[in-house]
Structure 1
Amino acid sequence: MSDYIFPPAVQPSVAVRGTAARYAVARIFCVGRNYAAHAREMGSDPDREPPFYFSKPACALVPSGSHVAYPPATQNYHYEMELVVAIGAPVFKVTPEVARAAVWGYGAGLDMTRRDLQAEAKAHGRPWDTAKGFDQSAVITELVRASETGAMAAGAITLSVNGIEKQRGDLADMIWNVAEIVANLSQLYHLQPGDLIYTGTPDGVGAVLPGDVISGQIAGLPSVSLTITQPD
């Protein structure tokens, strides 16, 4: 006899390069405005203000290479190319030095955004959940172990739409680097294996439409891609 009224949801997970084993995902944290030029294009002061965060549900994950329908309730559907960090050890209220050792791996991701809903939420001082945490809004490649990539402190991060480059930056341009982000987030949460952190996007974000193909690259990681199809 089942202990559940309905069958439990499938455990969200991400593929890992070089193994059939997968990384089970519990939470997705996202850093807002972590590149100075993107902060400016969104109308904010990039003067190293403390990082802030929003979240996406783990069920929003979708693997790179997917075809995703243009989402409902938006007329301004945006891409944001990001480095994704996978936590591999419990950390709470730690220093950047300790935080660095807790990083298990990295991936390339897209933080897909209903920008018009985000703008409306900002204007009314409301949460960003409907703008950021919708179905299939967290695109991700397979993860690569940190032991294979190094610290990912620098390297090109780019995104193209239909073969035309839209975003170009460098991981060294992040206002808060990976170790600082993990350390800061650990002041707020008991971080655990299964936590992913999308670390922010360079400038050049923009809208996509059905039929568009997005492709992104971060030096040393698999390429991320997404094809936008007609609305359901």
Structure 2
Amino acid sequence: MHVSIQQAGYDVGQPVLQEITFSLHPGSITGLIGTNGAGKSTTIQAMFGTLPWVEGEIDLPISLAYIPEQPTYYEYLTLAEHLELVASLHETDHAFTERLLKTFELHAVTNDYVSSFSKGMKQKVMLVCALMQRADCLIIDEPFVGLDAVATIRLLHLLEAERTRGVAILLVTHVLDSAERLCDDFVWIDQGRIKHQGTLAQIGEASGQPSARLFDIMEAMVLEHD
């Protein structure tokens, strides 16, 4: 699973991404990090071919589940109907799906319209619909937004279990504490380019802050720009 974006953008000849290259590995979580507007979500768009202009090579598996930053759902379908739709398209495990519903406390609302849910509940629906597919690769864009502390902790444990199962995971997030706890390596994007890449120790060495935490490295970079 390899991503190599030479140039990409919304207009030909006006790149907003340049030289973004990284690989995803089975049983590993890669964190795609950076400040707002750095190019994280644009990188995801380039990977899926939804940018008007992309030059590069993207090699992703067929068995892939994607959780977007903004919940996407059918307005006139209940939660149960969303689950049935996913199950009709993918081989799923009913017992595992039930466990996911219990984990995210959605059992009591399966007959309710997802459109009536709060933002946090909609985010949980997106997580259940993606995780129930048991895909070989997960791409998750800002999964912690809208989740309370309990749901965040449960999601962290679920992602750790998926890694143990051998899933390749790309986690796009600005929640650096969770990223540091969860990710095996990082791709740090700044102004549409890779600023740092590697494990936390490698990024610390490259930034001149060996043994520093991810937040401290980011803070130093922000203060340097200021």
TM-score when normalising by structure 2: 0.22
Radius of gyration: which is bigger? Answer: 2
- More helix, by proportion: 2
TM-score when normalising by structure 1: 0.22
- More strand, by proportion: 1
